[in-house]
Each structure stands twice: as structure tokens, then as C-alpha cells.
Amino acid sequence: MTNFQTEKAIVRAHHDALAQAAPDTVTEILARHTTPNWHWRGMHPFHEQHGAAAVAATFWKPFLTAMTRVQRRPDIFMAGLNEMDSFESVWVVSMGHLMGLFDRPFLGISPTARIGMLRYAEFNRVEGGKIAETAFFCDIPHLMIQAGQNPFPPQTGAHLVQPGPATHLGLMYECQDPVAGQATLASINAMLNDMGSKNRNPNYEVELARTWNDDMIWWGPAGIGATYTIPRYICQHAGPFRQALSKGYRFNGHLCRLAEGDFGGFFGWANLTLANSGGYMGMTASPGPADMRVVDLYRAEGGKLSENWVFIDILHFLNMQGLDVLARLEIIQHPQV
């Protein structure tokens, strides 16, 4: 058992240093708290990178060039032992928004000169006093929507600037009761076991009520949206998802799953492989299976799950189906005549 304070301090120092970074200094700043062969996973179009120089060139330099006066505004900060490697490695998780002034183009998205909020979730594996591995998920389509460049047809849920936990207790900088974390992880695993059961209850509402509180909130990504209460969750997300994406469904597993206090979550690379039978997110039937890289973060209450923040690499999922959203954006803005 560990209190994770050392690992939390390393990640907080890393974030504090990044708060002072500029495009010409970010490589050196990233290198201070990461290993030389740091393994960084990012969403499309960033994908997997190794080392501070590659991560800086791929994400941070373009982002800090586009966004000025960036603030990290976390809503969840926690740490724990990774169930996926028999509770050997320590990971520190942060979730919230990177807020800045959207002053220059980013990935072909036109600037607004106004506040831009890039929603993010970040998992950091800390080993030997350094960050050795990172998964950085961010909601690029939501940034597009803020800039008036919505790439999707009308979504089934509502997408907002997603708030943090209703309890406002997600920033766990201090030691937490380990018993609470064990209970939260048990709630998450109970939900996953129901999802993976070969004998799933045909009444989806009854199944969900086993592991979710009725006032659950599913904070989904742009393109799908958020939804509130079990019946609306079924209507506005889970039902359409099951109907369109059950063909060839394969669960690939998670790379990290942990909990601390009332919060927990996981990510995979990719969590799911599935085929769109047609209609989902306005897409026609896909020519073959596509991967979903997903982060789920949860808040538990009373032995069940109450809130769920979800990040899906939708741009990668669509790209594997033949739709490159960012390339299409570039063509629209710079047509060849």
C-alpha cells in the first residue's frame, strides 16, 4: 500500500513547469520530468511518440503557438496502482481543460481570438522519479465546435464545456482512504463484468440499475454528447451505440485501470474494435472494423456509479472508416481551384 504522494508531486511539478512553457522552451521543460524514452500516446493526429523532442514537436509546440496564456484547469487529480499489471505500477491521472486564447490556427481549425477550452484526460505512469509513460486524450472536435466548425451531424446528447464532479471533491492532492478506492474499483469492475457477460439482461434499464445510480450523468465527447439519468442515457447514447456498433464487436482490454477515493477509471489502446452497420454519427456502413481508443473516468456514490467522463478518439475511429475530418477541414478552407 502506498499513499502516492511522491508520484503526485512529480506530476504536479511537471504541470507547473508546463504552465511556464513557450513553443521555444517546451522541449527542455518536458524533458525535466520525463524519461529519455518517454512513451507518449495521443489521439489522432498525434498518435504514439517517444521522447520529449517528439512530443513537443507533435503536440505542444503547435498547441502553444495556437493557444496563448494557457491555463490548466483540472477537475480530477488522483493516483493509484494499475490493476492491469497486478497492481505493480503507479499512475497519476489528471482531467479537466486546457484553457487559452485561441489566437492562431491549430490543426486547420480557425482561431477565434476568444477563450478556447481543450478538454483533456491524462494518465501518467511514474517510475524512478520520472514520468515514463503517458496517455493524453483530448477532445479536438469540441474545440472545432467552439470555433464554429462543427464536423458532425446533430448529436444525440448535449455537449457542453463539461463540468467537474458534482461533489467538487475530484482534486485529491492529499492522501485518501484506501478502502474507498477499493470500493470504487469494485463498482467499476462490477459494471464492466455486466457489460462483458454472455448472459446480459435483455432489459438494459434493469442491467444498468445494478451498477449505476438513477441520476447518473454520462459526460460524453463532442459528436455524441452528454446525457442524464438511466432512461435518457439508453435513449441518447447506449441504445444507438448498441444498435449500430454491435457488428464484429471486440473488447481488447485496458492498459490501465485504477481508483482512488470515490474516483477511478481506465484507458485502452484500443479498448474496442467494432464495425458501424450504418447510421452511427451520420456515417454509412463501414467497410470494415475500426478501433475506439477510450478513456472512462468515474465518480462513485453509495456503492454505485454516478458520473462518467468519457473521451473517445473519434477522429481516429472515423479515419479508419475512410473519413479524415481534419483533411476535409483543410480542403474546405483551402480549396484547389
Task: For residue range 89-118, list pLDDT tens digits in order.
Answer: 999 999 999 999 999 999 999 999 999 999
197 in Cβ contact with 222 (< 8 Å): no
| 5-146 and 178-326 have identical folds | yes
Residue 255: per-residue pLDDT:
98
Low-confidence ranges of the chain (pLDDT < 70): 1, 198, 201, 331-337
Give dist(CA 18, CA 289) in Å, integer.
Answer: 38
Q: Which of 123, 117, 97 is nearest to 42 (CA)?
A: 123
Give dist(CA 314, CA 320) in Å, integer.
Answer: 10
Please, which residues bridge with residue 331 across strands? none
Q: What would the grid cell of residue 164 be?
A: 467537474
Q: Is 178-326 assigned to CATH 3.10.450.50?
A: yes
Residue 156: per-residue pLDDT:
76
Residue 314: per-residue pLDDT:
93
Q: Give the distance, in angstroms, between the CA of residue 297 and the centroid of all CA atoms in the same chain.
A: 8
Residue 158: per-residue pLDDT:
72
Q: What would the grid cell of residue 15 be?
A: 504541470
Q: Where are the domains of the chain?
A: 5-146, 178-326
For residue range 259-295, what is the model confidence (pLDDT) as tens digits?
999 999 999 999 999 888 877 777 778 788 899 999 9
Which CATH number does the domain 5-146 belong to among 3.10.450.50, 1.10.8.80, 1.10.40.50, 3.40.50.700? Answer: 3.10.450.50
Please, which residues bridge with residue 302 across strands? none
Residue 336: per-residue pLDDT:
54
62 in Cβ contact with 41 (< 8 Å): no
Please, which residues bridge with residue 42 across strands? 47, 136
Residue 169: per-residue pLDDT:
97
Residue 129: per-residue pLDDT:
97
C-alpha pair distances (Å), 182 with each of 3, 190, 218, 260: 14, 12, 22, 8
Residue 245: per-residue pLDDT:
75
HSE at residue 145, side-chain half, CA atoms within 13 A, is 20
